[in-house]
Chains A and B, each alone.
Chain A
Amino acid sequence: MALGPVRERTDPAAEAGARGSRLSVIPVCLAAWAGCVLLNVAFGSKAIPMTEVIQALVAFDERNYDHFIVSSQRLPRALIASFVGACLAVCGALLQGLTRNPLASPGLLGVSSGAVLFVVFFGFYWGVPNAWHGAVAFAGGWFGFFSCVLLARVARIAHDPRNLALILAGAIVSMAYAGIASALVLANESLRAELLSWMSGNVNHYYIDRLTDVWFVGAGMLFVLLCLAPALTLITLGSDKAAAAGVAVKPVTLCALTAAVAGAAAAVSVCGPIGFVGLVVPHLVRPVAGAHFSALFPACALVGAIVVLLADVVARVVFAPYVLHTSVLMSLLGGLAFIVIVKRHYLTVGVAARP
């Protein structure tokens, strides 16, 4: 297999070795994130001056209408956007690292569609109430990921160093599950009215209850992954090398995957499947933060949050007074980015003719 110039770009091993981790990006990202939160809160159908926003955060006055908007609508929305962006981006970074494939992302590997399918399925056949929404989506995320791995195993493609079977299986599983979910929703009008907006991915302040239900899953994921980061970085160098360096490859991988899928499923359970972030953010961050996971994870989390916050602003402002679904914008961008990534990684000279 001729990897040629591609190896330098995608192989985390080379970069991790050459540059080491770069923790210095984190404070910059943190500042940028804070700025984006303020921006996100300030913009909207009614622009709120920055001073007012900060005042609302620091010294809340319940008789002030602007303060009310900030605390009940804008801030929850910004928090949801940040949470979702962070979870999906970190999960994407891990999946891309472990599968050694630049196309891996939670949306593609069945997590999102599995979660959607479960929520719709249980809602349709057993009328599972909204309170269980999070748990069902969580189980569904697992189910989706598991069926995608199963299909990839079953196909048994012989020479597959970059886990392409997983990518293809993921695409098929996602399509099939999304199709079933939308067929089921179609047969039940009230369910459709209730779920269509969530199913297509929507960042919205009235999902804040769900965020309070699941935020700790996301935080837990980040914590677990950060603890495992050094070992995971070694695993990306090759499982033999990692084992030789004293890493328990299987338990660490399983643990990390469990955490990542849980985090992504939590994100989906809050506001539905959102594309782009999980796929693209790791690509944006890797050249700057290096491929060492202990810098990559936090940087991805922050940049993922920033990307969704900005997309949310765009979705609200561009077509004002209409508010676009943030996710529609993002999945369109995600599709285009996917084309670019395929072009760059699989159609460069010397790589194209691979089986």
Chain B
Amino acid sequence: MRVFTGLDQRQRVQIGPVMAPVHNVVAFLGLSVLSAALACVSIAIGSIELDFWDVLRVVSGGPATEDERFAVFTVRLPRILVGFMVGWVLAMAGATLQSLAQNPLAEPGLLGLSQGALLAIMLTMVFFPAVPRPYYPVIAMCGGLAVGVSLLLLVGRHNAGGIAILLMGIAVQTTLSSVSMMLLLYTPQEESYQLARWMNGSLYYSTWENVARFGWWFGASVVALLLVGRSLNVFDLGDQMAMSLGEPASWSKPAILIVASTITAASVSLVGPIVFVGILAPHLANSVSRATGASRLLLASVMGGLLIMSADLLTRVTTTYAYLPIGLTIVIIGAPAFILTVRFAAIREAR
């Protein structure tokens, strides 16, 4: 590891083959520490209150009562892990799509990717109720992929970036959501209730089994992040620049879209669709520390994990007073943060 001053007079850090500006590395470390701290708080708070040392003792496997063990290992820890991973994946998908579409408002939900995954699961639940639960991620992925591919077919491979695919995504999303509304309305009440549960994002069903199952996708997303980072870096410069730099945009854009649909679908099969994180996390990460390529994706992803963790914490803390679904807590936490960062940016510009 060495620190040096780059050609643009910025301090950079080199660790092995990876190189990044110092402020990005600092931001990453800061966000990671923040996430760890939040995880500790999240483990400590609940129907059984623990203090910091209790958390350390229980987590490190020290002597603990049966109740403490149950609270920490069976209920809280998997939920925290699932929340972080899902936030990570969604934020990464969002950041990727934003570079791809060259639009800060792109989002996996907006492109109909989550809706496709969701609808695939719902159709399976209605028409093939015998299919066991463990297959759901695969089914969701097929749904997400189907939407991704049909988007590409609808707009043509060469328009895989830009505004056309976003608008077409909205169109597909609207159509699909009307189909899922139909399922919701015209299935028997009990079944409709089950479907509606799937339709709403919730971390309530987090178990170790889910953590293990999703862990693969989490790992895959990390690999994808490193692979995709460079291409995105080039796309951010604009289509023509990308092409003149030798980026094979006609296939790398569709490929990136497919990656985004797959990881989004995986997260939907676990916790249902969660909107807004995909826009919010990259934006917040960007206001913490400007970055490009893989480091931008990394920062956005950690921010996403942090967001969902804190939103879920809010959901859990308030649960005795009022029921706040995770979609609502994300808006409650995210909207002020969003507005504040924009105000700060405006103030900085005015100087």
The interface of chain A, by Cβ under 8 A from chain B, is: 103, 108, 124-125, 150-151, 154-157, 164-165, 167-169, 171-172, 175-176, 179-180, 182-187, 192, 196-197, 200, 275, 325, 328, 331-332, 334-336, 338-339, 341-343, 346-347, 352-355
The interface size of chain B toward A, counting residues with CB under 8 Å, comes to 56
Could you jot down 10 A-B contacts, CB within 8 Å? A171-B173, A172-B109, A175-B173, A176-B276, A176-B327, A179-B273, A331-B174, A331-B178, A334-B178, A338-B174
- Interface contact B323-A179, CB-CB below 8 Å: no
Task: Kindly state the separation between the CA atoms of A334 and B331 in the bound complex, as whole angstroms.
Answer: 28
B171 touches A180 (CB 8 A): no
| A179-B201 in contact (CB<8A) | yes
CA distance A156 to B338 in the complex (A): 13
Chain A residues within 8 Å of B170, by CB: 103, 108, 167-168, 171, 338
Contacts of A108 in B (CB 8 A): 170
Closest 9 CB pairs between A and B? A335-B175, A183-B325, A338-B171, A335-B174, A168-B105, A331-B178, A183-B200, A339-B171, A332-B178
Q: Does B172 contact A (CB under 8 A)?
A: yes
Beta-carbon nearest neighbor of A162 in chain B? B163
Q: Is the CB of A175 within 8 A of B200?
A: no
Contacts of B256 in A (CB 8 A): none
Q: Helix, strand, loop or mixed for chain A's interface?
A: helix
Q: Are A168 and B178 within 8 A (Cβ)?
A: no
Which residues of chain A are near B155, meaning CB under 8 Å?
347, 352
A183 touching B185, Cβ below 8 Å: no
Q: Are B325 and A200 in contact (CB under 8 A)?
A: no
Q: Which residue of B lies closest to A103 (CB)?
A: B167
Q: Please tell me which one of the listed residues A186, A196, A338 contacts residue B197 in the complex, with CB atoms under 8 A apart.
A: A186
Residues of chain A lying within 8 A (CB to CB) of residue B273: 179
Q: Please name all residues of chain A whose beta carbon is closer than 8 Å to the beta carbon of B239 when the two chains form the complex.
A: 353
A86 to chain B, nearest CB (A): 22
Complex Cα gap A26–B199 (Å): 44
A167 to B326, CA, bound (A): 25
Q: Which residues of chain B are within 8 angstroms of A179 by Cβ–Cβ distance?
A: 200-201, 273, 275, 327
In the complex, A340→B159 CA distance in Å?
A: 16
- Of residues 166 through 222 on chain B, the ones whose CB sits less than 8 Å from some CB of chain A are 166-168, 170-179, 181-182, 184-185, 193, 196-197, 199-202
Whether B156 sits at the interface, judged by CB under 8 Å, is yes
For B179, list chain A residues within 8 Å (CB): 332
Q: Are A182 and B185 in contact (CB under 8 A)?
A: no
Supposing A154-B342, A200-B185, A342-B167 touch, asked if A183 and B327 sit within 8 A by C-beta, the answer is: yes
B154 sits at the interface (CB 8 A): yes
| Cα–Cα distance between A353 and B174 once the two chains are bound (Å) | 24
Q: Which among A169, A180, A186 has the greatest number of chain B C-beta atoms within 10 A?
A: A180
The smallest beta-carbon distance between B73 and chain A, in angstroms, is 27
Q: Is the CB of B185 within 8 A of A328?
A: yes
* Contact across chains for A338 and B175 when beta carbons are under 8 A apart: yes
Q: A169-B105, A342-B167 are in contact. Are A325 and B185 (CB under 8 A)?
A: yes
13 further A-B pairs in the complex, CB-CB below 8 A; given A184-B325, A332-B175, A355-B162: A151-B105, A168-B170, A172-B109, A175-B275, A176-B276, A179-B200, A186-B197, A187-B323, A187-B325, A338-B174, A339-B175, A341-B171, A346-B167
Contact, CB under 8 Å: B107 / A172 = yes
Given contacts A176-B327, A179-B327, whether A343 and B199 have CB atoms under 8 Å apart is no
Q: Does B347 contact A (CB under 8 A)?
A: no
CB distance from B287 to the nearest CB of A (A): 12
With A and B bound together, what is the CA distance between A70 and B181 in angstroms? 30
| B338 closest partner in A (C-beta) | A154
A352 and B164 form a contact (CB under 8 A): yes
Q: What's the least CB distance linking B101 to chain A, in Å?
A: 9
Q: Decide: B174 and A275 in contact? CB cutoff 8 A.
A: yes
A103: chain B residues at CB < 8 Å are 167, 170
The answer for the CA separation of A176 and B331 in the assembled complex, in Å, is 8
